[in-house]
Amino acid sequence: DNGFIYAPDFTIRRTDGKFFYLEHMGMTNVKEYLDRQFRKIQQYISIGITPWDNLIITYDNEQGDLDLRIVESEIRNRLMPF
């Protein structure tokens, strides 16, 4: 334990028992926010929570909008057991 408190936006358990973590990146036009999020993702990676495996990352667009169809697609595609 490195003293970091892990608080993803969502934790999801797939039917086969595998856990997935979802982080949403809002405020994509604010550099300080993105820098904090980058550090958070680096901490996740250090304990085995990694993009393309068990970490789903979604983003607002530059106007601050969220396309829920993309989020739903990401979740469905990642949570379907193989």
Question: Over the stretch 23-71, which tens digit does the pLDDT of each residue have?
Answer: 998 888 889 998 999 999 999 999 999 998 999 999 888 788 888 898 8
> One-letter amino acid identity for 36?
R
CB atoms within 10 A of CB 17: 7
CB atoms within 10 A of CB 52: 8
Q: What is the pLDDT of residues 19-30, one digit of tens each?
A: 999 999 888 888
Distance in angstroms (rounded) separating the CA atoms of residues 56 and 75: 7
| Nearest residue to 37 via CA among 12, 58, 64 | 58
pTM of the model: 0.79
